Amino acid sequence: MTVFIEDDAPVIVQGMTGHQGMTHTARMLKAGTNIVGGVNPRKAGTTVPFTMEDGTVRDIPVFATCQEAKAATGAVASVVFVPPKFAKGAVVEAVEAGFDVVVVITEGIPVADSAYFVELALRNGVRIVGPNCPGLMTLASSSESHGVNLGIIPDGIVSRGPLGLVSKSGTLTYQLMGELSDIGFTACLGAGGDPIVGTTLQEALAAFEADPDTKAVMMIGEIGGSAEQDAAQWAHEHMTKPVVAYIAGFTAPEGKQMGHAGAIVSGGKGTAQDKQEALEAVGIKVGRTPAQAAAFMREVLASL
Amino acid sequence: MDLYEYQARDLLEEQGIETPKAIFVRNIQDVAQAAETIGFPVVIKAQVKIGHRGQAGGVKIAHNRDEAVQAAQRILPMTIHGHKVSGVLVAEAKNILHEYYVSISVDRASRDFDVLATANGGTEVEEIAREHRESVKRLHISALDDFDLDAAMDMARSIGFYHADEAQAAQILLRMWECFKHNDATLVEINPLAKVGDPDDEASKHLCALDAKISLDGNAAFRHGGWAQFDNADEADPYERRAQEHGLHYVHLNGQVGVIGNGAGLVMSSLDAVSFAGQDQGTGVQPANFLDIGGGASAQTMCASLEIVLSDPQVRSVLINVYGGITSCEQVALGILEAIDELNVTKPLVVRFDGNAAAEGLRILAQAQRPNIHVEQTMELAAAEAARLAANGGEETK
């Protein structure tokens, strides 16, 4: 079974021909992701050569629009590396083209733009991951297939195992993947650090709950908003699988944005303390450090 | 980005929402003139980006020139809940008949926009929500839809505006929505939206925005000329400003351990680890700052980061915590050495590398043999060591 997206799913990259897009398309290909096209109206009709791990060169075609790319390649997902100014147009195009999954890596998108494309995606049954996230990585469910690496999560830290991971932060995702690399994951999803995101912590928990191969979920939150509290409540009411959490930002001062657009305590709301209390109130263990969260996860798995 | 009241008023007025006559002044010598221009009585209001300023003594009514000057003399030097007063607004005092609360904000949970209003205005919204929960009315606006006159009229009726005021209230709600959309705001709040006028003269009664709070979306600055008109450059923290010039995100925190890392989450986690270590060690050592070098940082970026963090005289040690994803630990190591040489750094630097090129980075640091570089295997150990070194005065080297 796979979660969020099928193994070997064909994928296109929006903004592939930019610097970020080129770097990460090469990385995603090396990780075994089935990238079948790029989108850039100014370079439509050309191909971009990428050197693969075994030394062979793969020419990736560039299309003018998402719709054309989808029709020509059968792609089911798109990864967006388009700069903030043009991100709304790019994501709307992807949603309207009807991809199943659209992963938005871009940081710095105005919240009004995100609100627009997230609502559009919800109405069209398209899953958006992000924005302002490291992406989505799945680990192959069989030896004959490849998982997909959509975004910037480093390949090679983890292999297939019983854990699911969802996180508001990129580097804390890598940190916890590293801490639990010997156990392994079904999928790691970067929910993103913006106030409005396409897949919330709660929605990611729901997907892991529905996936028979995922046995327990690591959830990484941070200050700002109430996504952790909402996820805690949902888990309490609907989840059969254990969740272990880590929350960053206990020392963050009121009213200061801590890097991510959504990471801000305002009017006394959105503190790490509140989140920890809400999670613990429904029996979810919260690590004081990432290492302690990983240790809690080991205990939880041992008791299953 | 939060605006001052005097700036927020301007944005409401641009949409045709009435506010009292007012003049913003920074200096005491301009207060009397401003008050006379407005006409007595006036309200002297501290301009500060924090709530509860009234209870803190930041708002005074003045009936004559002497009272106005005295009030401003008391308010101008004030610091309210840690925020320095940037000036005073000298505003026309209105005769208040009733106070409402209205706001529009980004609703993170429902992923849309939230119109919130109540007939019990005047105090802070948290208190209103606690004491008059049943009176608070909400309306969600989807980003795909719009807010129209019918919806605004329904909202005005449900809030409980006097019948005579419903049409004007609906207009104000619509104009707030225009203000919210047009300016890429994340919050537009009028509290109180007051019914003002002479109690014996029906014709004089109308709604007026007596206070305004607006927050703008920093991510949307590119389509608003960088918000240059709201740039209070002289008021920004000097360290934060320098970091911004280098494209780095820095927050000043007043502790003893400088913290540098990659990724907002990992840096927040590092701050917590330092603070916990200070508690566990019984020293009360705290982080001095948040500094995120971002993804794919170069040696130059790392060098500039150390320079900014070390320019804070309170810093006694620095924790550098990097989990290389796109960022190469090799580049970070080169930047650390560059900074040590250029700035003649003697304070202890505690380094933890993992991920991309961690082994190469650690090799470079080991070969350089600098006595003030301390390498630790995990972020918890590194935070504990940085806290211990800071408590020892930051003088100790290997």
* SS3 labels along chain B: CECCHHHHHHHHHHCCCCCCCEEEECCHHHHHHHHHHHCCCEEEEECCCCCCCCCCCCEEEECCHHHHHHHHHHHCCCEECCEECCCEEEEECCCEEEEEEEEEEEECCCCEEEEEEECCCCCCHHHHHHHCHHHCEEEEECCCCCCCHHHHHHHHHHHCCCHHHHHHHHHHHHHHHHHHHHCCEEEEEEEEEEEECCCCCHHHCEEEECCEEEEECHHHHHHCHHHHHHCCHHHCCHHHHHHHHCCCEEEECCCCEEEEECCHHHHHHHHHHHHHHHHHCCCCCCECEEEECCCCCCHHHHHHHHHHHHCCCCCCEEEEEEEECCCCHHHHHHHHHHHHHHHCCCCCEEEEEEECCHHHHHHHHHHHCCCCEEECCCHHHHHHHHHHHHHCCCCCCC
Fold classification of A11-129 is Rossmann fold (3.40.50)
Mutate to test the interface with A, among B50, B52, B108 (most CBs of A within 10 A): B108
To the question of whether residue B262 is assigned a binding role by annotation, the answer is yes
Q: What is the complex's ipTM, to 2 decimals?
A: 0.95
**Whether the predicted pLDDT of B394 surpasses 60:** yes
Mutate to test the interface with A, among B177, B269, B270 (most CBs of A within 10 A): B269
**Which pTM was predicted?**
0.95
The CATH class, in words, for A157-302 is alpha beta
Is B268's pLDDT higher than 90? yes
How far apart are the CA of A169 and the nearest CA of chain B, in angstroms?
5
Dihedrals phi, psi of A210, to nearest 5 degrees: -80, -10
Share of chain B above pLDDT 90, in %: 81
Looking at CATH, the fold of the domain delimited by B236-391 is given as Rossmann fold (3.40.50)
What residues in A contact B108, CB-CB < 8 Å? Answer: 195-196, 224-227, 262
Query: CA angle at residue A133 from A128 to A136, to 5 degrees?
Result: 65
Of the candidates A69, A135, A74, the residue with the CA atom closest to the CA atom of residue A102: A135
Q: Which CATH superfamily is domain B21-93 in?
A: ATP-grasp fold, A domain (3.30.1490.20)
- Nearest by Cα to A247 from A259, A263, A235: A263
Query: pLDDT of chain A along its 304 residues, tens only?
Result: 789 999 999 999 999 999 999 999 999 999 999 999 999 999 999 999 999 888 899 999 999 999 999 999 999 999 999 999 999 999 999 999 999 999 999 999 999 999 999 999 999 999 999 999 999 999 999 999 999 999 999 998 899 999 999 999 999 999 999 999 999 999 999 999 999 999 999 999 999 999 999 999 999 999 999 999 999 999 999 999 999 999 999 999 988 899 999 999 887 889 999 999 999 999 999 999 999 999 999 999 999 8
pLDDT 10s digits, B269-296: 999 999 999 999 999 999 999 999 988 8
Burial environment of residue B74 by CB neighbours within 10 A (0 to 12, 13 to 18, 19 or more): middle
């449900």: which residue's tokens? B158
Domain boundaries of chain B, sorted by first residue: 1-19+95-234, 21-93, 236-391
Domain parsing of chain A, residue ranges: 11-129, 157-302
A159 Cα to chain B: minimum distance (Å): 15
Q: Establish whether domains A11-129 and A157-302 are of one fold.
A: yes
pLDDT tens profile B349-379? 999 999 999 999 999 999 999 999 999 999 9
| pLDDT score of B21 more than 80 | yes
Task: With beta carbons under 8 A apart, name residues in chain B contacting A120.
Answer: 144
- pLDDT of B298-340, one tens digit each? 999 999 999 999 999 999 999 999 999 888 999 999 999 999 9
Give CATH for domain B1-19+95-234: 3.30.470.20
Q: Residues of A with CB below 8 A from B106's CB?
A: 111, 115, 195-196
pLDDT at position B398 over 60 = no
Q: For residues B223 and B232, what is the distance between their CA atoms, to the nearest angstrom?
A: 19
Binding-site residues of A for CoA, in ranges, read 17-20, 43, 105-107
Q: Is A260 a catalytic residue?
A: yes
